[in-house]
Homo-oligomer: A and B are copies of this chain.
Amino acid sequence: MGEGKIVVAIDSELKHNAVDLARSVSDYIYAVKVNWPLILERGIGIVKELSSITRVICDLKLADIPNTNRLIAEKIISAGGFAIIAHAFCGMDSLKAVKFTEKVRLISVIAMTHPGGDEYINGHWEKLLKTATEAGSYGIIAPGNNPVILSRVKKSAGELKIFSPGIGTQGGDPVTAIKNGADFIIVGRTVYDSDDPVSVVSEMRSRIGSYD
């Protein structure tokens, strides 16, 4: 398994096959992140396949009643998933249902990077962080392209790992995000849309340098 602070989101296979991409960059990254479109395309087997190469964070944005959240989490953990991303917005019982066993690493969404995130979620991040903490989260999602929220989240996050999307195409800079408190930066299009993902990731890791 690779180490470091980079998580590569594999949102698209238009340019590179997901498994090939994961294999090529696995030495430089901490994990890959997959979401529903890839799972719909490939079936849940893709989680198992990628898990044999690196850690797989399943970005499912779970937001259902406890029973359904738990059923989904069970299937992901059986497939070898490293962590599951769920919304804190559906409350404590729904989050706790994802973390149905000690084996689950729960990463809770407490803020989002798109404009609609400001309509409801982002204004509640402090309470959502409390819910996430009490539910036994391993980490939280906080925007890497919003230095103000990110550094405030960092001050209140305690032991929780901060995973920050919004890096690269969405405007966030890896080093700035890490300085502001990100434990892991999530990079998507910048890597999977590149002709040479290995160079992009290895250069990014060099830039992160001593923060690694």
Contacts and interface: CB of A to CB of B under 8 A. Distances in A.
Is chain A's binding surface mostly helix, strand, loop or mixed? helix
Interface stretch (A18-26, A37-45, A155-163): A37-45
A127 B37 CA distance: 29
Contacts of A36: 60, 64, 68, 71-72
Contact of A115 (B44, B67, B91): B91
A36 to B, nearest CB: 5
Contacts of A127: 120
A184 B94 CA distance: 25
A75 B40 contact: yes
A121 B90 contact: yes
Given A37-B75, A40-B72, A41-B75, A92 B116 contact: yes
A104 to B, nearest CB: 16
B116 A87 contact: no
A63 interface: yes
A171 interface: no
Interface of A: 11, 35-37, 39-41, 43-44, 60-68, 71-72, 75, 87, 89-95, 112-121, 124, 127-128, 131
15 contacts: A11-B67, A35-B68, A36-B72, A37-B75, A40-B44, A41-B75, A61-B62, A61-B68, A63-B87, A65-B114, A89-B89, A90-B121, A91-B119, A94-B114, A120-B127
Across the A-B interface, the 6 shortest Cβ-Cβ residue pairs: A91-B116, A91-B119, A63-B63, A37-B71, A93-B116, A65-B114
